[in-house]
Structure 1
Amino acid sequence: MALTATLVLLCCTGGIGAVLFTDDEPDQSALFRAFGCGREGPVRADDIDFRIGPYGPEQLGNAAVIINVGAEMSVSPRGWVIAVATAMQESTLRNLGHLGSRNDHDSVGLFQQRPSQGWGTPEQLQDPAYSSRKFYDKLLTVDGWETMTLTAAAQRVQVSAFPDAYAKHEPLATRIVNVLTDGAARAVVGPDGLRCAGDGEIAASGWTRPVPGNVGSGFRTNSRPGHNGVDIAQPKGVLIRAASAGRVIVSRCDPDQFGRLDCNVDGSPRKGGCGWFVDILHADQVITRYCHMVSRPDVAEGDQVDAGQVIGKVGSSGNSSGPHLHYEVHVGGDRSSHGAVDPVPFMRERGAPLGESG
């Protein structure tokens, strides 16, 4: 199949950047290498002549309006991701009029806001900038919205009959924000504007590093082909934080190869198992795993956790030769080795890069 090329100009503060995309959608590995950690805008909808997933120029133009309004209101880029994902669910990023018999309420616009509920007049709510501003006005009244799950924050604004529907849009909303803003979903807001997220900070994508430090043993190396995560050495007792908001699906002591549950003592390379460990289920069926904790985790199965919340402390329980965090990322909701992916590029693309050894 022949490739078609599109030169996309992203107009941002500090100049115009050009990125060459092939076919209808940019190659994602090249995209994340090319983009940085955000520009404040404005994002010019007139420059958009490409697609991202199922969304074409008209829909991405509406996403640009949502982002620009958020920037004008000094809402952090995390809010842009939440707003774009909400509009994806409510209207597929289309500025819908009243749908008549297909809509049993008076909902209109990008966010399907209702005049009868005090959001504004039908004419006002069909103005994407007005409806975006109303969304952000309500979002900013929600305590802790920047660290809670996207679906929880969106639901507090929308009060939808389908409160769990927003979560599935978070990865693509993050990608849309990154493409339109030179990587703002990988950023935090500093005194001088947007910058890349650092240790302990939560990027606009909703992700953060679980512990500081550099990766020692990597993912499925030649010497350890069965190593389904990465190891980050830290002293005992260093706090381990949830890499993103989600629900704890496992929190227990992993038995060794003999079935013994002796996680309250230091392990060794001769032992099996993860020791004390936690699995967290995030949006889009992503699972993160945190192994070798020093003691029983601070969270229990079924707990909802925020990004950056302390879930335990570094230790050396299980199959371990010294204190460190063994960190895994699984996709597709698959907790087995078949679902494991390399955490280093995964976290880098979300603006929460693990310290990579040289």
Structure 2
Amino acid sequence: MRLRRRFIVLIAVTVVGAIVCCGGSAAAFFLGGFGVMQSDTASAALACGSNTALDPGGNLPSIESLSDAQIHNAAVIISVGQQMNVPPRGWIIAIATALQESALKNLPNLGARNDHDSLGLFQQRPSTGWGTPEQIMDPAYASKKFYAKLIEIPNWQQLPLTVAAQKVQRSAYPDAYAKHEPLATAVVNKLANDAGRAVGNLTSRRCTQPGEIAASGWTVPVKGHITSGFRTPSRPTHNGVDIAAIPGTDIHAAADGVVTVVRCQATLADGSYYGCAKDGGLFVKGCGWYVEILHAGNIITRYCHQQHKPFVAVGQRVSAGDVIGQVGDTGNSTGPHCHFEVHINGDNSAAGAIDPVPFMNEQGAPLGD
């Protein structure tokens, strides 16, 4: 019967593209859940930028938490990046760096509070060759100098934001850059027609495809059909989406981060351990083999029902696109798929879960086939 079930499931995945999946945390075991219904398959139209140059002196949109002066400075950074034909990923790195170094404020010499002779948006130092004080205090000049060093770094677009920024800035607190990546992405999307969702430069920009990393730093974990959505009426405690795929399909880290959980979660109704050395089923509770990754902005992603022990370990740093495991059928599952969850505010409980579909759309890494 097991072989027959597997055969039927594989036909459904490869031909029909629809299977009945339980999604490890769906049964009221892994997450309690509460019924906030959101779209499970809707895909927002992605603009992914345009060839229109941004005018920092024009009428700029407001951005929550930022002043007009900060928005203007961000627009200057983007405009210079456009003029230099730097891809949108570079704009996000530059804005995140400026958020950390100066809060996007063109800081003058602060006297006793100054860090050495650091000045301007990027806190560049005249004494280390960035330019004269007058030049560095010009946001356009400072942005040009930042980009000039960034694009000299080999494979800079594939590096985690923190690594790329640190190679330019040589900061004493390199890990601090990463926390600004979500806001920097939002700023680029707001000011530059959703360019944070794109790949390519000013002239060749297009929306990301599965397997590619968007300017936001995010990518699709698994390409496949979404067979069950987030907190649907029939499954109000389903705190993620189920993405059907052939067993053994690689699962990719959706963004840079640190692995916080690697675990087999599979028990029977009486609480006895079922394990993850074999396929699960409706009679099994839990996520099977799963991984959690903590990303910038206190965002957590979860990847359930992996075929065997994941390829990563707790505490390991991963980059967007790294293979962390393979699609399987362990735990509370009726067919091979990846149950994918997104949590905010560092909360991996049901209270922190959000619908992955609109979230991933916003990152330029749309789920589904």
- Which category of TM-score, normalised to the shorter sequence, fits these structures? 0.7 to 0.9
Structure 2 residue 45 is the aligned partner of structure 1 residue 45: no
What is the aligned counterpart of 2:244 among 224, 233, 236?
A: 233
Q: Contact 1:185–1:204 (CA<8 Å) still a contact in 2?
A: yes
Q: SS at 2:156's partner residue?
A: coil
Give the AA of the match of 1:141.
Answer: E
Q: Distance in 2 between matches of 1:348 and 1:126?
A: 37
Q: How does 1:142-291 map to 2 (within 5 A)?
A: 142-189=153-200, 193-257=204-268, 258-260=271-273, 262-291=275-304
CA apart distance, 1:49 = 4.6
Q: Distance in 1 between matches of 2:152 and 2:325?
A: 30
Q: Contact 2:80–2:144 (CA<8 Å) still a contact in 1?
A: yes
Q: SS at 2:222's partner residue?
A: coil
Residue 98 of structure 2: aligned partner: 87
Q: Contact 2:274–2:284 (CA<8 Å) still a contact in 1?
A: no
Q: Distance in 1 between matches of 2:51 and 2:246?
A: 38
Residue 337 of structure 1: aligned partner: 350
Q: Distance in 1 between matches of 2:203 and 2:87?
A: 13
Give the number of equivalent residue pairs: 325
Give the AA of the match of 2:325.
Answer: G
Q: Distance in 2 between matches of 1:245 and 1:220?
A: 27
Deviations 1:137-167 (A, max 9, x none): 2222334432333223222221212222222
- The structure that is strand-richer by fraction is 1
Residue 304 of structure 1: aligned partner: 317
CA apart distance, 1:291 = 0.5
Q: Contact 1:48–1:57 (CA<8 Å) still a contact in 2?
A: no
Q: Distance in 1 between matches of 2:213 and 2:296?
A: 16
Higher relative contact order by CA 8 Å / sep ≥ 6: 1 or 2?
2
Q: Distance in 1 between matches of 2:51 and 2:215?
A: 13
Deviations 1:1-44 (A, max 9, x none): xxxxxxxxxxxxxxxxxxxxxxxxxxxxxxx9686110244111
Give the AA of the match of 2:95.
Answer: V
Q: Distance in 2 between matches of 1:134 and 1:105?
A: 19
Q: Distance in 2 between matches of 1:104 and 1:343?
A: 41
Q: Distance in 2 between matches of 1:263 and 1:33?
A: 36
Residues 261 and 112 of structure 1: CA distance in aligned 2, closer, same or farther (over 3 Å): farther
* Structure 2 residues not aligned, in runs of 5+: 1-42
Residues 349 and 104 of structure 1: CA distance in aligned 2, closer, same or farther (over 3 Å): closer
* Structure 1 residues not aligned, in runs of 5+: 1-31
TM-score (norm 2): 0.84
Residues 215 and 88 of structure 1: CA distance in aligned 2, closer, same or farther (over 3 Å): same
Q: Distance in 1 between matches of 2:56 and 2:321?
A: 34
CA apart distance, 1:260 = 1.7
Name the % identity. 58
Deviations 1:85-117 (A, max 9, x none): 111111121222211122141011110000111
Give the AA of the match of 1:55.
Answer: L
